[in-house]
Amino acid sequence: MTSPDQRTNDEWRAILNPEQFRILREKGTERPGTGEYDSHYPTQGVYNCAGCGAALYKATHKFKSGCGWPAYFDSIPGAVTRHSDGSLGMRRTEIVCSRCGGHLGHVFKGEGFSTPTDERHCVNSVSLRFQEGDGDA
């Protein structure tokens, strides 16, 4: 995976706390229902990458999925890159920040949610930082 931000692991460790490093750089996952943004539903604002600050999701993209992680039906155009993930013995689609390559979570399609895309971007709260505002990126 190549991204515009080419910091070394040592450089990332200097700016991320251990949990952020584990999730963003080592593709970890936070426990379901524990993230600060799981039940966070503002009407305006932007969720940015906790690693590099890139705008990823508008508050208006967020929906209640009941999955235990923040869920979004879409991302800001160009902000998220998808990769095939064959770990855990199944085929999934990993999502990463397009700017720094930080692991965000996975995207699932066709689950029947009443959203414009019928997608669920299942994102680790640790990968995000919320910024209040009008929601424009």
Among all residues, which ones are annotated catalytic?
122
Partners of 95 in the beta sheet?
A: 82, 105
- Quote the tokens at residue 55: 């705008």
- The Cα–Cα gap between 34 and 107 comes to 19
Q: What separation, in Å, do the N-terminal and C-terminal C-alpha atoms of the chain show?
A: 25
Could you please report the per-residue DSSP string of 81-112? EEEEE-GGGS-EEEEEETTT--EEEEEEE-S-
Number of continuous H segments (helices) and E segments (strands) in the chain: 2, 9
- Cβ(78)–Cβ(60) under 8 Å? no
